[in-house]
Amino acid sequence: MTIARKMAQWTTGLRYEDLPEKTVHEVKRRVLDSIATTLGAYHSNPAKVARAKAMAANDPPPAATVWGTNHRTSPDLAAFANGTMVRYLDYNDTYLSLEPAHPSDNIPAAVAVAQTSSKGGRDVILATVIGYEIQCRLCDAASLRAGGWDHVTYGALSTALLAGKLWGLDENQLEHALGLAGVCNITTRQTRTGQISDWKACAFANAGRNGVFAADLARRGLTGPNEIFEGPKGLMNQLDIPGAKDVILGSDGDFMIDKTYIKFWPAEYHSQSAIDACLQLRPQIEGKKIEKIHIGSFEAAVSIIGSEPEKLRPTSRETADHSMFYCCAAALVDGDVTLDTFKDERLTDPQLLDLIDRTAIVEDEEMNKGYPKGIPNDVTITCSDGTKANKRVDFPRGHAGNPMTDDEVIAKFRRMADGVITDASAEEVIERAWNLDQLDDVTPLFSFDVVG
């Protein structure tokens, strides 16, 4: 039996009734959080381009909608446009393991196929759990980053299976869908290297588009390459990820979505604990001149957001929110990290650049020991008068070890919704999200009227 076949069997066998209430509720939180990040990103350049591309096509009902509109398009293009909006701000949820991921990237694909197949809220919930499970278990099994490949490679597989579940594919069709999705969607990590472009927002959205497309082809009878994982030229050998053979999927109420984290600050997740530490240290050094900042961190954080020269002088929002140097400087200067932190005019702020030049980020073996269970960052600030302040944070707010409350998730949504949709529309979205399992049609949840 192939690995793809085992995944197909698990997918066909999983039922909504197998999901504990806590898991169902967690999906509702992630859907609300994904709409929040969509609203915050709605007027960004990648969002505008992706929506225009999706809205250039028309599909008759039942069809997927572009979120925030009534426009009907194909499910693959809807997954692309809506996925780009969810992802742009780097404010959607996260999972860290051998490979990092943003698993709520799966939700736009689930919604698009559910709409196309006239499925309701419970089907979206089940499909979302499947997407999280496949992606996060693969992240536990093997690192793509180590070989220079990008984490969204796993996303083509997870979205193919969740789409196939919604379309009612059998085991044979699901196995073919994985072959079709896996053979042609291997992506390089150049997406997140150096100065970062608009494409970062689109990378998983494109994987989701292709995963949905692969499932649709399998649904229509197309066959895909056999042994997509373990074949001589399959993913395990070509990407050097032998651990993929050890994937064990969730059962008995043990599902990966419950182990993932909602973001408290709109910045790359490895920086969240460093931001948290800086904010806690700020009152101790208020009014003093900072001489130097030393951050002991772990390998993933140092290599991704704490070492490249571009991170010392970011010239785009995408690079700045992937710079631990910049995020920590902003936290100390402003007392928070918000969407305004990454406006163009802030990127050249002399006060921020001065603090960046006084910051050293170094790999620390003690921090490595704490990752990926936590994301430990140890921050020491030395002031010119000799004052030293130190704080280590392993579990920042929003981490599974320090989760956000429902009220905090709602507050984040309202911040992102403010000025983009009306207050009344925002309250409708909140109510519908909490009642997702009762919706026969999920379209109204994503048809909010954008006003600004």
What pLDDT sits at residue 179?
Answer: 98
Which contiguous run of DSSP H or E holds residue 433? helix 423-434
Sign of CA dihedral 162, 168, 171, 172: negative
Domain 3-264+422-446: CATH superfamily is: 2-methylcitrate dehydratase PrpD (1.10.4100.10)
Return the pLDDT at 129.
98
pLDDT at 421: 97
* pLDDT on residue 397: 95
Q: How many CA atoms lie within 13 A of 348 on its CB side?
A: 3
DSSP state of 94: B
What are the boundaries of each domain within the chain?
3-264+422-446, 269-393
Tokens for 403?
A: 């989760």
Q: Do domains 3-264+422-446 and 269-393 have the same CATH topology?
A: no
CATH superfamily of 269-393: 2-methylcitrate dehydratase PrpD (3.30.1330.120)
**pLDDT recorded at residue 452:** 72
Neighbours of 150 (CB within 10 A): 22
Q: Are 79 and 109 in contact (CB under 8 A)?
A: yes
pTM, 2 dp:
0.95
Residue spans of the chain under pLDDT 50: none
Buried b (16+ CB within 10 A) or exposed e, 336-368: ebeeebbeeebbebeebbebbebbebebbeebb
Q: Strand pairing partners for 450?
A: 421
